[in-house]
Structure 1
């Protein structure tokens, strides 16, 4: 089976560059799997878990927070706003992130600050749900 070239990049650095049998990306319209030969796609990425598979097994997982995915028949590149190895993040860290976002929302002044804080709360909740789901898999 041919492999797909995969890169996970954040604004400040590259997190991963590897060859994979499949990559599962949390797209804004739903998760999608990328295999070698995939049709070209550009998609936004929603907060969730990105999986890199070798064979039929998950080799690596990352929590990602937004960004874009670009897919060609030979490669998949995810430009993430924020990404971290799944095993490096605890449920308590995500709960604290949510509490901090809720405090920011309560302290928000003006529509722009309120909108940014509401988005931060929604992202934190999405990450907690994703982490809780994948922690048992």
Structure 2
């Protein structure tokens, strides 16, 4: 059996997960990242994506996260998400509200650099919407 470690997924609204896990797959900004027990200390930003958690019991759970940070230590991992929901709770309305808000922010962006960053986020969110809720 794989070693387990403490994992927490926290959003401003609530604590979504606080469990012993054997693996967490994080949608890190620079690419997908798998965290196992005794991982080297690291901190990374996360982009909108699906975070996969394998519990020590063997059960796998998936969550849709909308950005944030991950703090990784050899003994645990904490993800502080800007917003997160269980994948089965994700809805078209949730994604559409976020997409509409980003479009409004893009039109009000004060600089080209800020506009480019927001357009990149919109692209990631649109892609995520299509992958999580196909058709």
TM-score (norm 2): 0.78
Question: Aligned in 2, Cα 1:38/1:19: closer, same or farther, shift over 3 Å?
Answer: same
Q: 1:126 aligns with which of 103, 124, 127?
A: 124
TM superposition outliers: structure 1 runs of 4+ over 6 Å: none
RMSD: 2.9
State the TM-score, normalizing by the size of structure 1: 0.77
Mapped to 2, the partners of 1:95 and 1:6 lie a distance apart of: 30
State the aligned residue count: 132
Which position in structure 2 is the counterpart of 1:10? Answer: 11
The alpha-carbon distance between structure 1 residues 134 and 99, as it changes in their structure 2 partners (threshold 3 A), is closer
Aligned partner of residue 76 in structure 1, secondary structure: strand
Distance between the aligned counterparts of 2:4 and 2:90, measured in 1?
Answer: 28
The aligned residue for residue 48 of structure 1 is 49
CA distance in 1, matches of 2:41, 2:104: 41
* Structure 1 residue 91 displacement after superposition: 3.6
Structure 2 residues without counterparts, runs of 5 or longer: none
| Shift in CA distance, 131/61, structure 1 to aligned 2, threshold 3 Å | farther
Q: For structure 1, list consecutive stretches of 5 or more residues without a partner in the other structure.
A: none
